[in-house]
A and B are shown apart, each in its own frame.
Chain A
Amino acid sequence: MRAHRPSGARGAGAAPYLFLAPAVVLFTLFTAVPIVYTAYLSLRRTKVSGLGLGRGARREVFAGLDNYSAALGDGELWAGWLRVLGYGAIVLTVMLGLALLFALLLDSAHVRLARFSRIALFLPYAVPGVVATLLWGFLYLPSVTPLRDLGVDVVLLGPGTVTFSMANIAIWGGTGFNMLVLYTALRAVPRTYYEAARIDGASERHIALRIKIPILMPAIILTTVFSVIATIQVFTEPTALRPLTNTISSTWSPLMKVYRDAFVNGDLYSAAATSIVIAAISLVLSFGFLRVVRDRAFQEG
């Protein structure tokens, strides 16, 4: 009977599971378990009795959804989202716009020093975020900035400008990377398309707008999703700039609030709940964006 059974997935026996095992084990250990533990922590809290000094005065108890209702009802967290939204709007448009522009310029026929420009634009991405922030921080500080000597008198870390100054750091660091992704995608386009367009009388600008950008759409969407996620997770720039100025609070971005709750206030439990809220929002935002643009990007029905 066995010989008549059609060969297929069933006939393979344990082999597929064996091949899957490393991935499953790694996923369980390093992704699933931490997530489950975070979810568990988010449902608990400490309960102190009396003065809270001495042994056994502090216990861990079940808190239900208290931490979640506190996280959702916290005005500071939502104000943080708003600040990050404003920051993200600047970063996403300027950084991706510049990246696209540079990629198109580098790919166009008439560019000189292409190799050098590519490396020069990419270089800031290799500078660690903290270093980049301190570097810019020194340029921003009124009394040590060389801008003053040049006659430019602007307050770069004031309440109105600090968001732009921070966005500038992210744009400086991120443009090169995104440009490289787009440029690589452009290089994969068969040159015959452009020849055909030129024979039809299209200018370089027309080729860029009508051919290159539509072909680039999947890559643009990919870089956008990555940038949205990176923006939601903004932490390094505000944290490193904070000691230098009065304008950045300890809860400037949602992740900074998680850090403050966990490591400054010592409340791992509400930090865990806030983390899960942030993860949920960033999932919704990135999948929502993908859903909206899916048809155009991947020609799916």
Chain B
Amino acid sequence: MRSGRLAVAGAAVLALALSAGCSSGSQESAAPTAAQTSAAGPVTLTYWSWVPNMDKIVAVWNKAHPDIQVNVSKQAGGDDAAAKFLTAAKAGNPPDLIQAEYQMLPSFVAADAVADLTSGTAQVKGEFGEGVWGLVTLGTDAVYAIPQDSGPMMLYYRKDLFEKFGVEVPKTWDEYAEAARAVHKADPKVYLGTFSSKDPGSFAGLAQQAGAQWWSIQGESWKVAIDDAATKKVADYWGGLVKEGVIDDQPYFTPEWNKALNDGTLLTWPSAVWGPGVLSSNAPKGKGKWEIAPLPQWSAGENATGFWGGSSTAVAQKSPNQAAATQFATWLNTDPEALSLLVTEGAVYPAATKGGAALTSAPDYFSNQPDFWQQTAAISATARGFTFGPDVNVTYNAFKDAFDKALQNGSSFSDAVGVMQETTVADMQKSGFQLAR
């Protein structure tokens, strides 16, 4: 009896100590260690991601870390996943980890859906470039996610058809416009490119290249400048070419677009470094015929590009295992083994500076361009982004509606940019954000 009672008391003390250790672990610990998390017993984390083969990458982690098991839940990606995460966070049962696109991160932060990882990531900062790191801190002292990949933009073009039409790779947007006219004149069925009214991310990247700053923080208020001169310049450039009829107006990622890529009636695609994955699945017939070059520039001699897409790994504010989740997110995006898996299995372009080591052989689809990754690295060094605001979803949706309308009515593209600005400002005012005049 006595020993039995003792055992019960001992177990109770132990349980108390464990729970105390556990709670201090999640609240105060600066850098969670394997010892601490194992004391809390095995935990299971849910991770929403749409990186291909993420389950295979996670399997490597799960094997090495029996105490922190990660379950990948495959998502459709992009806007849908973001909306789903915000809804789940509001309902109180979000996943522990989420793939967060850079432009959506401010919305997540504003909705108090993602945790501040500052304490667990002190030593991680050095693994990333300044520009990318700024996207996860939003220019504040906090760290809201760990960068995973980035999407510097470049020009994908059909080398064989450029030769056939006798067109040089355009160095400036003026040359690009000339080439568009020449190609369309030579064969009216062929377009040099298309303007997609369904892909605000692509337009944002082109605006970044021109030097746009859609949002910025001034003290305690937001400055919204979506209709700045740089953005209007980009909009009117494309609007002019579409109106002239030398650039097509069908959206990207549709069956029609796939067909145009496959049968060689679309010759270029200004896109991001993740392009090879899309081209190889949507335009299998073009294998070995495409090459990359830097985006055309606004004036000769310049050297700049923007970002389209790219994402980070964020931890949910409501996750009971933030420390373990941070540990996994850090491993996934900075560990050399994980980085090389991200490249080979997930086909992502890692944001970590060490990631370059894993990029040795060119993607299969671009086997004709052996220096694909060297080119990419050079282009990537010239990329500039901007701060994203807390209601990018509203802005991006306004882009789709306004540019759909502009294409239908043949109205001015810079007016559509004006609609984006008005819609964004109205939404921020309605919510009560402080706006700088």
Binding site for B on A (CB under 8 A): 45-58, 138, 141-144, 159, 243-244, 246-251, 260, 263-266, 268
Contacts of B27 in A (CB 8 A): none
Contacts of A260 in B (CB 8 A): 397
Contacts of A144 in B (CB 8 A): 255-256, 259
With contact pairs A243-B198, A246-B404 given, residues A266 and B251 touching in the complex (Cβ less than 8 Å): no
CA–CA, A47 to B110, complex, Å? Answer: 11
Q: Restricting to B67-89, which residues have a CB under 8 Å from any CB of A?
A: 79, 83, 86-87
Contacts of A54 in B (CB 8 A): 109, 140, 142
CA–CA, A49 to B145, complex, Å? Answer: 23
Instruction: Please tell me if the beta carbons of B408 and A266 are within 8 angstroms of each other in the complex.
Output: no
Whole-angstrom distance from the CB of A249 to the nearest CB of chain B?
A: 5
Q: Of B221, B253, B403, B434, which one neighbours A243 at CB under 8 angstroms? A: B253
CA–CA, A159 to B140, complex, Å? Answer: 46
CA–CA, A133 to B49, complex, Å? Answer: 28
Q: Is B405 an interface residue, CB under 8 A from the partner?
A: yes
Contacts of A50 in B (CB 8 A): 220-221, 433-434
Instruction: Please tell me if the beta carbons of B397 and A52 are within 8 angstroms of each other in the complex.
Output: no
Instruction: Please tell me if the beta carbons of B427 and A58 are within 8 angstroms of each other in the complex.
Output: no
Contacts of A250 in B (CB 8 A): 397, 400-401
Q: Is B422 an interface residue, CB under 8 A from the partner?
A: no
Contacts of B79 in A (CB 8 A): 264
Whole-angstrom distance from the CB of B385 to the nearest CB of chain A?
A: 18
Contacts of B390 in A (CB 8 A): 48, 51-53
Instruction: Please tell me if the beta carbons of B427 and A138 are within 8 angstroms of each other in the complex.
Output: no
Instruction: Please tell me if the beta carbons of B254 and A47 are within 8 angstroms of each other in the complex.
Output: no
Contacts of B403 in A (CB 8 A): 246
Question: Which of A48, A142, A250, A251 has the most chain B CB atoms closer than 10 A to its own CB?
Answer: A48
Those 4 A-B pairs whose CB atoms lie nearest each other, nearest first = A263-B83, A48-B432, A246-B404, A52-B110
Whole-angstrom distance from the CB of A233 to the nearest CB of chain B?
A: 20
Contacts of B430 in A (CB 8 A): 45
Q: Is B236 an interface residue, CB under 8 A from the partner?
A: no
Q: Is B161 an interface residue, CB under 8 A from the partner?
A: no
Instruction: Please tell me if the beta carbons of B255 and A265 are within 8 angstroms of each other in the complex.
Output: no
Instruction: Please tell me if the beta carbons of B259 and A51 are within 8 angstroms of each other in the complex.
Output: no
Instruction: With A49-B432, A53-B110 given, name 19 new contacts (CB 8 A).
Output: A50-B221, A51-B221, A53-B140, A54-B140, A56-B112, A58-B111, A141-B255, A141-B256, A243-B198, A243-B251, A243-B254, A246-B197, A246-B251, A249-B404, A250-B401, A264-B394, A266-B83, A266-B111, A268-B90
| Interface 1/0 per residue, B119-135 and A, CB below 8 Å | 00000000000000000
Contacts of A51 in B (CB 8 A): 217, 220-222, 390, 433-434
CA–CA, A143 to B403, complex, Å? Answer: 22
Q: Restricting to B27-86, which residues have a CB under 8 Å from any CB of A?
A: 79, 83, 86
Q: Could you jot down 29 A-B contacts, CB within 8 Å?
A: A48-B110, A48-B390, A49-B432, A49-B434, A50-B434, A51-B221, A52-B431, A52-B432, A53-B138, A53-B142, A54-B109, A55-B112, A141-B254, A143-B259, A143-B260, A144-B256, A243-B198, A244-B254, A246-B249, A246-B403, A249-B400, A249-B401, A250-B400, A250-B401, A263-B83, A264-B79, A266-B111, A266-B391, A268-B90
Contacts of B153 in A (CB 8 A): none
Whole-angstrom distance from the CB of A95 to the nearest CB of chain B?
A: 27
Whole-angstrom distance from the CB of B47 to the nearest CB of chain A?
A: 22
Whole-angstrom distance from the CB of B359 to the nearest CB of chain A?
A: 32
In this complex, what residue of B is CB-closest to A247? Answer: B408
CA–CA, A11 to B430, complex, Å? Answer: 59
Whole-angstrom distance from the CB of A245 to the nearest CB of chain B?
A: 8
Whole-angstrom distance from the CB of A61 to the nearest CB of chain B?
A: 9
Instruction: Please tell me if the beta carbons of B431 and A46 are within 8 angstroms of each other in the complex.
Output: yes
Q: Of A52, A56, A142, which one neighbours B256 at CB under 8 angstroms? A: A142
Contacts of A265 in B (CB 8 A): 391, 393-394, 397, 427
Contacts of B147 in A (CB 8 A): none
Instruction: Please tell me if the beta carbons of A244 and B432 are within 8 angstroms of each other in the complex.
Output: no
Contacts of B434 in A (CB 8 A): 49-51
Q: Is B103 an interface residue, CB under 8 A from the partner?
A: no
Q: Of A45, A57, A244, which one neighbours B255 at CB under 8 angstroms? A: A244
Whole-angstrom distance from the CB of A42 to the nearest CB of chain B?
A: 15
Contacts of B143 in A (CB 8 A): none
Whole-angstrom distance from the CB of B203 to the nearest CB of chain A?
A: 14
Contacts of A251 in B (CB 8 A): 401
Q: Restricting to B101-125, which residues have a CB under 8 Å from any CB of A?
A: 106-107, 109-112
In this complex, what residue of B is CB-closest to A138? Answer: B255
Q: Is B407 an interface residue, CB under 8 A from the partner?
A: yes
Contacts of B394 in A (CB 8 A): 264-265
| Interface 1/0 per residue, B167-204 and A, CB below 8 Å | 00000000000000000000000000000011000000
Instruction: Please tell me if the beta carbons of A246 and B431 are within 8 angstroms of each other in the complex.
Output: no
Instruction: Please tell me if the beta carbons of A159 and B408 are within 8 angstroms of each other in the complex.
Output: yes
Instruction: Please tell me if the beta carbons of A52 and B254 are within 8 angstroms of each other in the complex.
Output: no
Q: Restricting to B379-437, which residues have a CB under 8 Å from any CB of A?
A: 390-391, 393-394, 397, 400-401, 403-405, 407-408, 427, 430-434
Instruction: Please tell me if the beta carbons of A48 and B405 are within 8 angstroms of each other in the complex.
Output: no
Question: Which of B79, B112, B142 has the most chain A CB atoms closer than 10 A to its own CB?
Answer: B112
CA–CA, A266 to B109, complex, Å? Answer: 13
Whole-angstrom distance from the CB of B389 to the nearest CB of chain A?
A: 9
Instruction: Please tell me if the beta carbons of B260 and A47 are within 8 angstroms of each other in the complex.
Output: no
Contacts of A55 in B (CB 8 A): 112
Contacts of A249 in B (CB 8 A): 400-401, 404-405
CA–CA, A144 to B250, complex, Å? Answer: 13
Whole-angstrom distance from the CB of A129 to the nearest CB of chain B?
A: 18
Whole-angstrom distance from the CB of B25 to the nearest CB of chain A?
A: 20
CA–CA, A143 to B140, complex, Å? Answer: 49
Whole-angstrom distance from the CB of A243 to the nearest CB of chain B?
A: 6
Instruction: Please tell me if the beta carbons of B401 and A48 are within 8 angstroms of each other in the complex.
Output: no
Contacts of B83 in A (CB 8 A): 263-264, 266
Instruction: Please tell me if the beta carbons of B397 and A48 are within 8 angstroms of each other in the complex.
Output: no
Instruction: Please tell me if the beta carbons of B87 and A263 are within 8 angstroms of each other in the complex.
Output: yes
CA–CA, A122 to B254, complex, Å? Answer: 31
CA–CA, A52 to B335, complex, Å? Answer: 33
